[in-house]
A and B are shown apart, each in its own frame.
Chain A
């Protein structure tokens, strides 16, 4: 075992076990109720608005790739892209998905194509609806802002990993009167989204969005399992705070193991 990662590994096992147990309980028929998240509820409203106005829905799964610590955010964005694409296909709206990472392109194309197939509207699928713009961060954002402006987007959905371009994309959408739904787990960008977009998915809400949109009880089970993971984290925090206050470094030493 790698030095200094024993506690991390045990914690990963505990949190994973809690999530898997809840998934299995959900499989067994456990009824799981989750609080509604305004940003997720607003997705249908945003697509409906774009349909009524005859304007596009702009979707970005973020600028992160499929590797490293930010990859999960890209996958979370793609999970929700499937739901949004189904809504777009169902309502007969038009969508443009802008892509920064080449590796994300084939996945996004497949997600959108399958969504149109699932809705029985494959003939309405536009091959040009998923657009690779550039691997360069600011070239990508300039391209995406151009599309939002020229096409006068009615809805701007940003779900994934974003960096400095987050505010630019939301502001570009605001200036053409688009409704913005933005979500990220990038802690430095959350304040920009909160300040500038109409609805924000913060941190874990981004990861839960795909599962909640699907309404699949097994997926919802994993969300319930997360709560036990959070309980574990809270327990460590409280015991650690009390121990440190009492002059003991037992939790700090444990975490360093």
Chain B
């Protein structure tokens, strides 16, 4: 038995226990399933250390080789280590430790999210051009839905919100459910391929 075969057997055993824990009320299976998921949390915490090593290695190399924009790497590595040291001293609940999160990371994240509105406008400008029958349907539907959601739509035509509701509740909902059912069955098929050891891409490839 090679390394991959061992990992496939381990994956199948763990996977089947987790699936069984979802459906059966047998105490042993429930406890084992919960325990295995706790191990997952511990492994995830260890993986964060690996990720920090990856990040440090790549950026320290960029600095030492003076690659393009290496100054940004200095800032990244500096903040990474300073924040870690503060965390050891001040603990993760400390005021100093959380200063950076609350005053830099959170506003920056909010800013990125706010930019989404401009990205949507840019993408919509390209997508909403009637170059074919399909894109014309997309353009008309999107226009009706936008007008149906805005007060001006009702001012133009009273029934606009009703048309919008029909588009959202009937063709849109039907398509969404179709995609979700297909995706659900696709996920089951992928799960079976992984549990049977047919799909080994995540273990580095190769066939059974």
Contacts and interface: CB of A to CB of B under 8 A. Distances in A.
Given A102-B50, A114-B204, A141-B112, A219 B22 contact: no
A136 B181 CA distance: 30
Nearest to A61: B202
A78 B198 contact: no
Given A1-B24, A207-B183, A168 B112 contact: yes
B126 interface: yes
B186 A2 contact: no
A15 B25 CA distance: 23
B170 interface: no
A122 interface: no
A131 interface: yes
A110 B199 contact: no
A207 B127 contact: no
Q: How large is the interface on B (under 10, 10 to 19, 20 to 34, 35 or more residues)?
A: 35 or more
Interface in A129-182: 130-133, 135-139, 141-142, 150, 164, 167-168, 170-171, 174
B108 A139 contact: yes
A138 B108 contact: yes
A79 B123 contact: no
Q: Is the interface of B mostly helix, strand, loop or mixed?
A: helix
Contacts of A138: 108-109, 112-113
Contacts of B208: 218
Interface string B49-87: 011001101100100000011000000000000000000
Interface on chain A toward B: helix, strand, loop, or mixed SS?
Answer: helix
A166 to B, nearest CB: 10
A27 to B, nearest CB: 10
Contacts of A78: 201-202
B191 A72 contact: yes
Interface string A1-37: 1100100110010011001100100000000000000
Contact of B183 (A1, A66, A118, A185): A185
A87 interface: no
B105 interface: yes
B108 A103 contact: no
Contacts of B113: 138, 164
B122 interface: yes
A195 B127 contact: yes
Contact of B23 (A5, A80, A174, A204): A5
Contacts of B120: 167, 192
A80 B105 CA distance: 32
B192 A16 contact: yes
A206 interface: yes
Interface stretch (B39-47, B88-96, B156-164): B39-47
Interface string A58-79: 0000000111000011011011
Contact of A208 (B23, B69, B186): B186
Contacts of A174: 126
B187 A118 contact: no
Given A16-B188, A207-B189, A132 B22 contact: no
A230 B44 contact: no
A226 interface: yes
B116 interface: yes
Contact of A222 (B123, B189, B204): B189
Nearest to B26: A1
B205 to A, nearest CB: 5
Given A5-B22, A81-B201, A83-B201, 20 more contacts: A2-B22, A2-B23, A72-B190, A105-B47, A105-B51, A106-B47, A113-B204, A114-B205, A139-B109, A167-B119, A167-B123, A174-B126, A190-B179, A192-B120, A203-B183, A204-B182, A208-B186, A226-B189, A229-B189, A230-B181
Interface of A: 1-2, 5, 8-9, 12, 15-16, 19-20, 23, 65-67, 72-73, 75-76, 78-83, 99, 101-103, 105-107, 110-111, 113-115, 118, 127-128, 130-133, 135-139, 141-142, 150, 164, 167-168, 170-171, 174, 185, 187, 190, 192, 194-196, 202-208, 210-211, 216, 218-219, 222-223, 225-226, 229-230, 233
